[in-house]
Structure 1
């Protein structure tokens, strides 16, 4: 058996600005730790989850551990840790496994089997002690329901190729909950869902012996034969096309600052302080027939469901608030930057586990007319589409994303240092000094730039999940999200297995009583009344 005598036992690289901006706030309580969760259907209002049904024969522990170990080798950041030397020097550290057997043992240390219900699993992840840490950047939890569903031979034989399973795998079907946990600085939503698809595809591709052979092959290729300097994927900032000149970099910063000055928003949920954070995630899943009608209505009005959800939130908030309508409403969303990254040869086979997102904002009027609300809604949906398209197609998108990453990284380092000093009792506010005869320079008041809510709009996830590759596993529902900071809120919208899902993750104790609940009810009412 080969060992790692020819390659380093320790590899490391510094976190990029975007990675640092997510790592530093996560240190204390796991803010933004991501997950995909699986539970059974049917459902209407539920928590963040993904659901599937499979046979115990297929979901045996040895196979799960082998798949997990293979993927940790293919995507080394999953098996890495983080070392923080100072605020400017935070590093991923990866110790490649010394053998396939070592890889399997390390994977099993980060794999857990439970019999908890979906609510227990989700509550413990969102509100309990942090599952992840600087020494554990990813974790897998598989929970099996104690009840089984036994299918008859006639039920399991539908005449299609996807149902041609053995008697052992077709007869005893169980409900499983799979919780895939990863820190947000490790990757983004696209990485998380691509991983879930790869997990199920690999699990259904071979038996235990075949998976053992794949593990040995992957270890040989990735840990023994591959050049050590290509093992860890590069940060986003090193993948973005370079600025052609110093003048271009200067112009990029001026453009970024000007674009930030145009962000105007004066709407915010009223907050309250609470000693304890409690994240809840009410979720609604629409059946396939209703989803088709919603998508058809959006197409008829020339918008996507994502643009429509901006307008839905806009109208729902106007109905909830009813005050300060003279100030516009601003919402923010993440922008997938993967299509814009440069692709040198080493990145063609690189892991997709790295974070690659930018940000854009949609600003809409807050007031709503007393009549013809439907016309106003579709007009604002088209406005959201225009603003989203303008952000994606802007000629300065790359430079804006680079400067934004630098700004976020710098702010995160300042805030992290301040938080640490406060925890140590040594923090002092900055002293402002001025000459006795000087007068403060006049400054024009800046327009408010408060964002009401963030929207994570994942689109049609059936484009990522290749269901035909794992026909022996029936995926029911997917819901994804992250641990929230106190007073945090994020709305998710996506389509999965032909069903539109909308969920709202928020800190129940961080907002004035009843306001968020009223907003959520108005959101669902607007979907029922306007998306027709």
Structure 2
């Protein structure tokens, strides 16, 4: 007999667990308050039998995963710019866990494009009281090519939504894999119910021996030396590293209309993908380095001014391998990213074959990426960057609140006559690598994943390019505010980008 989830949660024993947000989390949380800037989504299209996506099964799996990953089921309480907390109330019974899961689960009958457009451009889905949300979409469709007489399969869509201050892309994809393992596995609904009871008891029951229940903030995963001399040296190193960031190119912006994010996406079939990866290997680079070079060539082809200034791009760096503190919780839902930059020339030499220029710049991008990841100061630089981003986020949040109240007074202009080196980034790249290394397709044979699109709600004038391999295909997408930039310029860049990949990666 399945659990009765009709009970009211008002009777629940409020035994709350909490911790403060760290600097990195604050730098994402504070800008998100007004309209959900940086709220992440992950859309997956798949083929599966109807029973896999029945609400009772999805709700049970969703409940199990929210017990494993408490930040997903937490809320955020803000008392001040320096006092923002995650607050988690452990479910006191399996019934309460299912009620919580069900209230953060919404079935729709929308297409992939409708789901994404609604999330990116409609009213905010998430809030301080709802940090994650699951949206399966079931639309009437014809049978799939995977039909079987005993268990006919259909196309389905699912979208996982989570605030970015909960975690990063790696957490999101690992979570999606675990979701499909449970949904598409062999366990019956009764066996999943037994698993829910067991995991709730072992993780949050009275006999639990846990010493900490919420995953650490990023900054708490490192042992920091108390030495004042070391601290001073690290600050000087950080300042010098920042001064070396030189970039003089940006897309021309316009803000005449409300933000509207679009995500043009292309994919290369498995055979072309194999050829691209083989060609990259021949030239000693990864596809990620090649995408940096493709962006560079695409912009250089259309750039007619300031060619003496470098072009700078930024990307995320996974900090998990550098942790020196044992995790307080076995959940992988937490933020663990910093940033690095790739800086390349803007001009294209006319005396050198374009293919040679492209592969040379791909190798330079690889070298810069490797240097960033292997730099012995990576931890101190990341922590100081997190502190700087946190301070900046607090200042801007205070200004935003004062403007809303009508009490903001602009500070007097600074009397700074220093000549500053331009340090603008043209674009951000989210290069996720081979996602087929995360999605263990063989562990959920009832489900055939075929489409993946990811991104986040953007601020006005936001832009981010994604590149990854999934289901044997290379995917490239450009998420940007179509009303925030000069339309002709961005479309020309995207066309140049795809042409560069076709001409130089598929030769």
TM-score by length of structure 2 reads: 0.94
Given that 2:311 and 2:426 are in contact with CA atoms closer than 8 Å, whether structure 1 keeps it comes out as yes
Map residues 168-317 of structure 1 onto 2, 5 A cutoff: 168-169=150-151, 172-205=152-185, 206-224=187-205, 225-227=207-209, 229-243=211-225, 245-317=227-299
2:124 to 120, 130, 133: 130
Aligned equivalent of 2:27: 21
CA distance in 1, matches of 2:466, 2:222: 27
Matched with 1:374 is 355
Taking the aligned partners of 2:271 and 2:285, their CA distance within structure 1 comes to 19
Q: Deviations over 1:397-435 (max 9, x none)?
A: 0100110000000000000001111111110111369xx
Of 25, 31, 34, 2:37 maps to 31
> Which deviations, in whole Å up to 9, do the C-alpha atoms of 1:106-158 show, x marking residues without a partner?
10000011111112111110100000011100000000120130668xx74xx
Aligned counterpart, 2:6 = none
1:259-284 per-residue CA deviation (whole Å, 9 max, x = no partner) reads: 00010000000000133110000000
For residues 442 and 294 of structure 2, the distance between their equivalents in structure 1, rounded to whole angstroms, comes to 34
RMSD: 1.9
Preserved CA contact (<8 Å) 1:53 1:173? yes
Given the alignment of the two structures, is residue 390 of structure 1 paired with residue 371 of structure 2, yes or no? yes
**Contact in 1 for aligned 2:428/2:464 (Cα 8 Å):** yes
Map residues 433-512 of structure 1 onto 2, 5 A cutoff: 443-512=417-486
Q: Is the 8 A contact 2:21 2:217 kept in 1?
A: yes
* Shift of residue 244, structure 1, vs aligned partner: 5.2
- In structure 1, which of residues 370, 389, 402 is the aligned counterpart of residue 383 of structure 2? 402
Corresponding position of 1:74: 68
Change (3 A) 1:150 1:236: closer
- SS of alignment partner, residue 34 of structure 2: coil
Match among 68, 90, 95 for residue 84 of structure 2:
90
Q: Which residue of 1 aligns with 2:17?
A: 11
- What 5-or-longer segments of structure 1 have no aligned partner? 39-50, 157-166, 434-439
**Alignment match of 1:418 (pick from 375, 381, 399):** 399
Rounded Cα–Cα distance in structure 1 between residues aligned with 2:336 and 2:55: 33
Q: What SS class does the counterpart of residue 24 from structure 2 fall into?
A: helix
Q: Secondary structure at the match of 2:52?
A: coil
Aligned residues of 1:8 and 1:228 also touching (Cα < 8 A)? no
SS at match of 1:419: helix
Equivalent residues of 1:268, 1:451 under 8 A apart: yes
Q: Are 2:22 and 2:219, in contact at CA under 8 Å, matched by a contact in 1?
A: yes
Contact 1:265/1:448, CA 8 A, preserved across alignment = yes
Shift of 1:320: 2.3
The superposition leaves residues 10-52 of structure 1 with CA deviations (integer Å, 9 ceiling, x where unpaired) of 11100000000000000001111111112xxxxxxxxxxxx10
CA contact (8 A) 1:243 1:399 kept: no
Q: Cα distance, 1:250 vs. partner?
A: 1.4
Q: Is the Cα–Cα contact under 8 Å of residues 13 and 92 in structure 2 kept in the other structure?
A: no
Report SS of the residue matched to 1:366.
coil
Distance between the aligned counterparts of 1:260 and 1:58, measured in 2?
Answer: 50
1:191 CA drift (Å): 0.3
Where in structure 2 are the equivalents of 1:34-113 lying within 5 Å? 34-38=40-44, 51-113=45-107
- Structure 2: where are the runs of 5+ without partners? 4-8
SS of the aligned residue for 2:446 comes to: coil
Return closer, same or farther for 1:304/1:432 CA change in 2, 3 Å cut-off.
closer
Deviation at 1:444, TM superposition (A): 3.8
| Partners of 1:132 and 1:182 within 8 A in 2 | yes
Query: Any runs of at least 4 consecutive aligned residues in structure 1 with deviations exceeding 3 A, and if so which?
Result: 5-8
Q: Within 2, Cα distance between the matches of 1:151 and 1:354?
A: 38
Residue 6 of structure 1 and its aligned partner are, at CA, apart by 13
SS at match of 1:148: coil
**Is 1:353 aligned to residue 333 of structure 2?**
yes
**CA offset at residue 522 of structure 1?**
0.4
